[in-house]
Amino acid sequence: MKPTTAGLAGLLVAVAFASACRVNNESRGDLPVGDADGSVSAGQPVTLYFPAPDGRLAAETHNAPEQLDAEALRVWIAGEIATGPQTEELLRAVPEGSEVISVFSAPGGTVYVDLGIPGDTPAMGSADELLAIYSIVNSLSLHDDSLDRVVLLVNGRQRETFAGHIDTSRPLGARADLIGDPN
């Protein structure tokens, strides 16, 4: 049987996806993670990461509002990122008015985050885009050992880039190297 162009394209996409799914768990370093099942208790501190003026991500602690299982915690974390930092010096990761449409998990440690972003494409340079993406990815995946990858959707669809510069067409693993020194 002669292979079709569509069949070959599908195979290439599958191979590319499998390659992109490999995540280096060493990038987590000694960063804090949640309970073994990914849940938190009411008032438990959760570390979130927001862009800082120094061009790095800065840790900010938010307390869980109630007992949250792993799925509810992921929705809450994404919502906190969309709401913005509590610390005045830190910057918003996503444009004001952005909201979380949905957060859902897939087998194998991948979570999908669908953000409703006004205007569809945030206006930002490549450095700001990198920090925006990894504010979300790191806040989710560095908290939960069972989560290895994050797929970003914007207004219901996965895009090649978030704001025109950084590849978001594949699942993304944590980047602890983007986190600044806490001192």
pLDDT at 6: 41
pLDDT at 117: 87
pLDDT at 36: 54
Q: Which domain holds residue 52?
A: 30-178
- How much is the mean pLDDT over the chain? 81
pLDDT tens profile 152-167: 999 999 988 887 788 9
pLDDT tens profile 17-63: 333 333 333 333 344 444 556 788 989 999 999 999 999 999 999 99
pLDDT at 86: 96
pLDDT tens profile 59-110: 999 999 999 999 999 999 999 999 999 999 999 999 889 999 999 999 899 9
Task: Let me know if residue 101 belongs to a domain.
Answer: yes
- Angle at which helix 70-83 crosses helix 126-141, to 10 degrees, equals 150
Mean pLDDT of 114-141: 88
Element (H, E) at 99: strand 99-106
Q: Please give the full DSSP string across 14-71, using - where no structure is assigned.
A: HHHHHHHT---GGGGTT-----TTS-B-TT-EEEEEEE-TTSSEEEEEEE-SS-B-HH
Burial class (CB in 10 A: 0-12, 13-18, 19+), 98: buried
C-alpha span between 157 and 117 (Å, rounded):
12
Q: Give the C-alpha distances (Å, rounded to integers) separating 141 from 22, 28, 54, 95, 123.
A: 14, 9, 23, 22, 25
The total of structural domains in the chain comes to: 1
Q: 121-125, 130-134, 143-147, 154-158: lowest mean pLDDT where? A: 121-125
pLDDT at 159: 87
Number of Cβ within 10 Å of residue 83's Cβ equals 16
Token pair listed for 154: 């914007």
